[in-house]
Amino acid sequence: MDRCWIGLVALAAVVAPPGALAQPADTGESAPVAEATAVTEGGTGTEGTAATPEDAATSGEEPTGEEPTGEGPALTPPDDTFFGEAAGTTAQTAETGETGETGRTGGTEPNPAEALLSASREDREDQQAERDAEQVTWQEEASRFIDLKGYFRTRGDLFYQLHLGRPDGVAFRHPYDDGVNQNGTPCSGAAAETCFTNDTIAGANLRLRLEPVIHLSSYVQVYATFDVLDNLVLGSTPEGYANQPGASGGYELAARSPWTPLGAFAATQVPPVGGVNSFQDSVTVKRAWAEVTTPLGRLMFGRMQSQWGLGILANGGNDIDSDYGDLADRIMWAARYMGIVGALGADFAGEGPTSQAIFQMQGQPWDLGQLDDVNQYIAVLGYRPAEEEQLVRLRSGLPAFAGGVYYVFRNQVLSSEGTSVLGNTSTLTPVQRDAWAHIIDLWFQFRYERFRAETEWTVIYGGILNTQPTSFADEDYEVLQWGGVLQLEYTAIGLPTIRSNRLRFGVEAGYASGDPNEEGLAPSQGIIVQRGDRNTAGVHTLSRFNFDPDYNVDLILFEQILGRVAGAYYFRPWVDYTLALGVGRSKKFLNFRLDTIWSRASEFMSTNSNLPDLGLEIDAAVTFETADNFIARLQYGVFFPFGAFKDLTDIDGHEVRNGVYDLSNAQTVQALLGVTF
């Protein structure tokens, strides 16, 4: 019986028309597929972050179940009965003789010339209708086979006094054209000298993100993410500008074109080419992975986004204003049952040198060693109903819950970081590392009527025997880092799931553990440096926790000066109001938001002055959105630095005297224009 069934299936596959096997079944099975996408890490497909009451629908309005109107011509073919009724009416008229151009009554034979002309006209109409139907069918097939999403953005940024008035660049380095003379050297105060000063950094950049989804069937999809002109600084690739490999390593400016001997004569921009006039190519492939739905769950494999909870540990960077995005080379199995989700996965976190060589760009390269691999294993268990189910509970006056645990184990025996060449070489110098870590992340969300509470906390425990890149030192460091976020939100006017005329208040508190044995809240060139002086001598615990850089808290301190929340804690109250203008497809939203962020260092010993207060920042934003996905945003921020950015000049017992710097306030104006699709 089984063989007969297999034979029938094979025969059906052979005789099926072209494209029939590739066409996804229109059986409503896409919904569970979409739900399975969100099983782990906030979804590895198009979903992104954990569900929040913000923007329940794309338009910001509560779904009504009505068909959208005004969205362009329909893609369905004309009703065949239209032509059938026309033909039937003509036949009936001719048969009854109620009308007729010749004036003949019933029973009279029709004019042969008129009948021939009518048949010819009907034949042409039928042929045209058939061609229209074929074209529409092709459009429907294409839309089912490939689904394209993404966004385009252009951003302008202006920063003023990010250095906070310090001359040494401890906070942020000065613009390179600040304090130079006409010869490009530091100003000396000479009589004939022209001194140029500048405290402003300004510019604009853009990105086009394309996220195609190829639907091979209802059960098999292929995803990808392409960034075109990724964060390209406008005006950074003028004609005549190019780099070449330098004699002492790195790159140097090549000879300019004779047609543009100076940059002042550049008449056009040219596409960026990595290693020539830019550090990256015009198109970069960020993600490429496949997902296969089976009766036992969903199998995902390839390079995909890594997203979990609020995103302080793993953040896919899917917001239109994000810059980074965590990527994972991963093989994962995930399943969902009655809102309970689970997943198991393995990551290729770091493989070390491969056999790929610059003189042989084709062929299959392979990993040259195994003990230098950074291995990572993932397990996820949680409860996360579909967003529609949570909305039903909220509208019924019931609370909605979601949450889970995300566990990661990673280890490395040897390290090849001392290797100076990526490709196949005889100068490989692996050293003993013996690094391992257990990472536990807990996420929980609670929503009830107008209230939302959401939190995420992470603990990292592990050890590193040696931190040197090219040699071995028996340092035996312990790793103990932790941090978290708590968000509370209340909708005072309007409904939480509908943006129209909605007033919300909220507060957010975040904490990242600090390291008293490190100087500064941001690492120096990414190197682990333990001071071992003063009262921290002999301390062998690495305890500074870093938030993901795409978890944005403010506009200046954590976003620009420190680069991320690290070794600090903050308190951020906020308020926003969304005004709806117009109705239907002409509806527009105008959002006003105000944030105040007060921050301190988690360990006062890690600041320059040994004072914990970092500062106070006030950020304001106005965002304009339309129903057809156009976004315009204008933001202003000012940061008032406190004592942590001063200097420790002397220690006499317990007396601490601060430096004489007059700290300056930092300011920024930022604009964003974007379109999502």
Count of other CB atoms within 10 angstroms of residue 529: 13
What ranges do the domains of the chain cover? 153-163+484-677, 237-277
Higher pLDDT, 652 or 437: 437
3-state secondary structure of 263: helix
The SS3 assignment for 473 reads coil
pLDDT number for residue 649: 62
Q: What are the start-end ranges of the H helices in 30-111?
A: 30-37, 80-96
Q: Quick check: 71 pLDDT over 90?
A: no
CB atoms within 10 A of CB 122: 14
Determine what percent of the chain is predicted with pLDDT higher than 70: 73
Of the candidates 494, 512, 515, 511, the residue with the CA atom closest to the CA atom of residue 503:
494
Poorest-pLDDT segment among 78-92, 287-301, 344-358, 496-510: 78-92
What is the share, in percent, of the chain residues with pLDDT greater than 90?
50
> CA separation (Å) from 229 to 234, 629, 637, 671, 677?
10, 21, 27, 18, 18
pLDDT number for residue 532 = 59
Q: Is the model's pLDDT at 138 over the cut of 70?
A: no
| 121 three-state secondary structure | helix
Cβ burial of 480 (10 Å; 0-12, 13-18, 19+) is middle
> Do 287 and 209 meet the contact criterion of CB atoms below 8 Å apart?
no
Spatial separation of the C-alpha atoms in residues 637 and 361, rounded to whole Å:
47
Question: Is the predicted pLDDT of residue 38 greater than 50, yes or no?
Answer: no
d(CA 47, CA 37): 7
574 vs 24, 327, 560, 561, 598, CA distance in Å? 45, 31, 20, 22, 12
| Helical H segments across 97-176, by residue range | 112-145
Residue-level length of the chain? 677
Predicted pLDDT of residue 470: 82
Residue 549 has pLDDT above 90, yes or no: yes
What is the β-pairing status of strands 568-581 and 502-512? antiparallel
Residue 416 in 3-state DSSP?
A: coil
423 C-beta neighbours (distance < 10 Å), count: 15
In this predicted structure, the answer to whether residue 451 has a pLDDT above a threshold of 60 is yes
Higher pLDDT, 427 or 200: 200
Confidence of residue 535 (pLDDT cuts 50, 70, 90): low
**Cα separations (Å) of 466 from 141, 322, 376, 414, 434?**
57, 34, 19, 10, 7
- Take residue 291 and report the two structure tokens written for it: 């997902």
**CA-to-CA distance for 585 and 353, rounded, in angstroms?**
54
This prediction's pTM:
0.77
d(CA 610, CA 649): 11
| Weakest mean pLDDT among 78-87, 377-386, 533-542, 555-564 | 78-87
pLDDT given for residue 36 in this prediction? 36
Q: Does 526 have pLDDT greater than 90?
A: no
Give the type of residue at 556.
I
The Cα 282–Cα 210 span in angstroms is: 13
Give the span between the Cα atoms of 289 and 332, in whole angstroms: 11
Residues whose CB falls within 8 Å of the CB of residue 243, separated by 6 or more in sequence, listed in order = 251, 252, 253, 254, 275, 276, 277
Please give the residue that has the higher pLDDT: either 520 or 432. 432
Q: Report the alpha-carbon distance of residue 507 to residue 489 in Å, rounded.
A: 7
- The DSSP code for 561 is I
Q: Please report, as a single letter, which amino acid is at residue 448.
A: Y
Mean pLDDT of 244-258: 75
Higher pLDDT, 74 or 171: 171
- Quick: pLDDT tens for 260-290: 888 888 889 989 998 888 888 999 999 999 9
CA dist 251 to 245, 270, 276, 421, Å? Answer: 4, 19, 9, 16
CB-based contact 172:560 (threshold 8 Å): yes
Q: In the predicted model, is pLDDT for residue 99 greater than 80?
A: no
Among candidate residues 332, 343, 479, 325, the one with its CA nearest the CA of residue 405: 343
Of 80 and 448, more confident? 448
Name the least confident of 101-110, 506-515, 580-589. 101-110
- Tell me what pLDDT residue 525 has: 57
Please check the confidence at residue 79 and state whether its pLDDT lies above 90: no
- pLDDT band of residue 94 (cuts 50, 70, 90) is very low
CA–CA separation, 9 vs 364, rounded Å? 36
The three-point CA angle 322-325-331 to 5° equals: 155
pLDDT of 68 above 50 = no
Rounded average pLDDT over 188-192:
87
Please report the pLDDT score of residue 76 as a whole number.
Answer: 31
Say how many Å lie between the first and final Cα of the chain, rounded: 49
Mean per-residue pLDDT for 150-176? 91
Q: What is the pLDDT of residues 456-483, one digit of tens each?
A: 999 999 999 988 888 888 889 999 999 9
The mean-pLDDT minimum among 80-89, 143-152, 301-310 falls in 80-89
pLDDT at 468: 85
pLDDT band at 224 (very low <50, low <70, confident <90, very high): very high
Task: Count the Cβ atoms, other than its own, within 10 Å of residue 437.
Answer: 17
- Identify the burial level of 377 via C-beta atoms within 10 angstroms of its C-beta, where 0-12 means exposed, 13-18 middle and 19 or more buried: middle
- pLDDT score of 171: 83
390-422 burial: b if 16+ Cβ within 10 Å, else e: bbeebeeeeebebbbebebebbbbbbbeebeee
- pLDDT for the residue 517: 85
Number of neighbouring beta carbons within 10 Å of residue 367: 13
Cα separation of 355 and 353, whole Å?
7
Mean pLDDT of 570-598: 93
Task: Give the model's pLDDT for residue 657.
Answer: 46
- Alpha-carbon distance of 214 to 228, in angstroms, equals 19
Residue 110 tokens, joined: 């029709």
Q: What is the mean pLDDT of the chain?
A: 80
Q: Is the pLDDT of residue 135 over 70?
A: no
Check if the beta carbon of residue 677 is closer than 8 Å to that of residue 213: no
User: Which residues are registered as beta bridge partners of 666?
Assistant: 639
pLDDT in tens, 295-327: 999 999 999 999 999 999 999 999 999 999 999
Q: Give 6's pLDDT tier (boundaries 50, 70, 90).
A: very low
- Among residues 399, 402, 404, 398, which one has the least CA distance to residue 386? 402
How many Cα atoms are found within 13 Å in the side-chain-facing hemisphere of 490? 4
